[in-house]
A and B are shown apart, each in its own frame.
Chain A
């Protein structure tokens, strides 16, 4: 049985664990990143890759400003493209209440220095001529929002981590977490990883990993579905987000495919990657209603992945009552975009014991009653 010792063991090689490991190793920490399967095999690799500044609380907006800055520098840092592109996000309101929500958010976003504005239907039409503006009251537009390709980001982080001496143990699930004095992680193949500090960043699997050590984290995975079309010539710059109850969101990737989702009502709880019959007819109808030329777009594929939800819609990023054990999960569908900045802050927190900015809304001991984040 092989035994590895390190400073910090990270469970989960998705965006959160990998980004944290990248910044830990950049500060000289010896890291081991463990995953039950390959990198990005959980939620990260199933997401559609959108990045937006348009959140409704200052800490989330600040994190996203930092994250998008990191994404924009990745190509130089990694030496390969991560398909980062700032085509903007256009959020659409079909009633006045939602338009008011946009207005309130825009005030907060602008105070944080985000380039965002409220558009009327005429301006929306000139921005996206293919969009059916019937019933559209207003749009929230941030040209600096965008997209990136998750696997290229993970690959880049991995090579930086390995260059700094960090190690990856992939396709090797953690079977047991022991804590005699330091942590001992027992993996499926018998390998034992010993570390004084452990980060749980296993997305939807985080709660079940923490339960045997007496932690019941308020994390609830649920299924979300997505689809992708054939490549088409680029015609759609922004990600469109239709906030109607029967809305949807989609964007055209830099490589030409249109990729999109809708938020299931009611939610489908559990760690599930199966798919539903109603999704494709529903999404095809919803996105075609918004952009009629998409009627002719050939749909190639349909899959599912998990959001890991918290009761108030904000992530959990904190130490836990178990000394040396940290958690970064409950991303509520925003892990990929938050990941780079969150990883940097999480690494500093693990090494320094304090946050570089106000992270109280991500604290484990906060009041979880549904709250401030208005944009799902």
Chain B
């Protein structure tokens, strides 16, 4: 069977996302927490829109009705050292 990867960072497939939705997930937030989609280095830039449209399709709602997941700082990967450079080391 064809293996369609939805979240490349965490290697989560379309089947896994669909299974979670069919298991009762109704929000992007829940899918993210349960599957870790969108939790890798790209922070959901790639899979976010895909998952949003999958969720809309499965729930029979328009895409704009699906709330996006929360964006968490620092938004892109930042080395720990960068945060305190100039303060103390």
Q: Report which A residues bind B (CB closer than 8 A).
A: 38, 40-41, 45, 151, 155, 170-171, 228-231, 275, 280-281, 284-285, 287-288, 294-303
Whether a CB of chain A sits under 8 angstroms from the CB of B60 is: no
Q: Does B2 contact A (CB under 8 A)?
A: no
| Chain B residues in 8 Å Cβ range of A284 | 80-84
A155–B34 CB distance below 8 A: yes
Say whether A298 contacts B87, CB under 8 Å. Answer: no
The answer to whether B30 has its CB under 8 Å from any CB of chain A is yes
Which residues from B are CB-within-8-Å of A296?
A: 79-81
CB neighbours (8 Å) of A298 from chain B are: 41, 77-80
User: Is A300 in contact with B80, judged by CB distance below 8 angstroms?
Assistant: no
Alpha-carbon gap, A300 to B74, bound state (A): 6
Asked if A285 contacts B74 (CB within 8 A), the reply is no
With a cutoff of 8 Å between Cβ atoms, the chain A residues found around residue B26 in the complex are: 38, 171
* B62-78 interface with A by 8 A CB criterion: 72-74, 77-78
**A299 with B80: CB separation less than 8 A:** yes
24 A-B pairs with CB atoms under 8 Å apart are A38-B25, A40-B33, A45-B33, A228-B39, A230-B41, A275-B72, A281-B84, A281-B87, A284-B81, A284-B82, A285-B83, A285-B88, A287-B80, A288-B80, A294-B80, A298-B41, A299-B74, A299-B79, A300-B43, A301-B39, A301-B43, A301-B73, A302-B73, A302-B74
CB pair B77–A300 under 8 Å, yes or no, is: yes
Question: When the two chains form the complex, which single residue of B25, B34, B78, B88 contacts A299, counting CB atoms closer than 8 Å?
Answer: B78
Q: Mark B34-48, 1 if CB is under 8 A from A, else 0.
A: 100001110100000
B13 within 8 A of A: no
**Cβ-based interface call for B53 (8 A):** no
Instruction: Indicate if the CB atoms of B84 and A300 lie closer than 8 Å.
Output: no
Looking at the complex, which one of A151, A170, A295, A301 makes contact with B79 (CB distance below 8 Å)? Answer: A295
Q: How many A-B residue pairs have CB under 8 A?
A: 79
What DSSP secondary structure best describes chain B's contact surface?
loop
B81 touches A288 (CB 8 A): yes
User: What's the Cα separation between A302 and B25 when bound, in Å?
Assistant: 23
Q: Does B41 lie within 8 Å of A38, measured CB to CB?
A: no
B85 CB to nearest A CB, Å: 9
Q: Complex formed: what's the CA distance from A41 to B82 in Å?
A: 31
Rounded to whole angstroms, the CA-CA distance of A248 and B26 in the bound complex is 35
| Contact A303–B84 (Cβ < 8 Å) | no
Q: How far is the CA of A231 from the CA of B9 in the complex (A)?
A: 10
Q: Which residue from chain B places its CB closest to the CB of A281 in the assembled complex?
A: B83
Question: Is B27 a contact partner of A38 (Cβ separation < 8 A)?
Answer: yes
The answer to whether A285 and B87 touch across the interface, beta carbons within 8 angstroms, is: yes
Q: How far does the Cβ of A211 sit from chain B's closest Cβ, in whole Å?
A: 28
Residues 1-59 (chain B) with a chain A CB within 8 angstroms: 24-27, 29-30, 33-34, 39-41, 43
- Whether B30 pairs with A299 at a CB distance below 8 angstroms is no
> In the assembly, what is the distance between CA of A21 and CA of B24, in Å?
19
Q: Given known contacts A229-B80, A280-B74, A301-B72, what 4 new A-B pairs fall within 8 Å (CB)?
A: A151-B34, A231-B40, A284-B80, A285-B84
Query: Of the candidates B30, B41, B81, B87, which one forms a contact with A300 in the assembled complex, judged by CB atoms under 8 Å apart?
Result: B41
A residues within 8 A CB of B78? 298-299
Please tell me if the beta carbons of A300 and B39 are within 8 angstroms of each other in the complex. Answer: yes
Docked complex Cα distance between A285 and B81 (Å): 7
Q: How far is the CA of A228 from the CA of B77 in the complex (A)?
A: 10
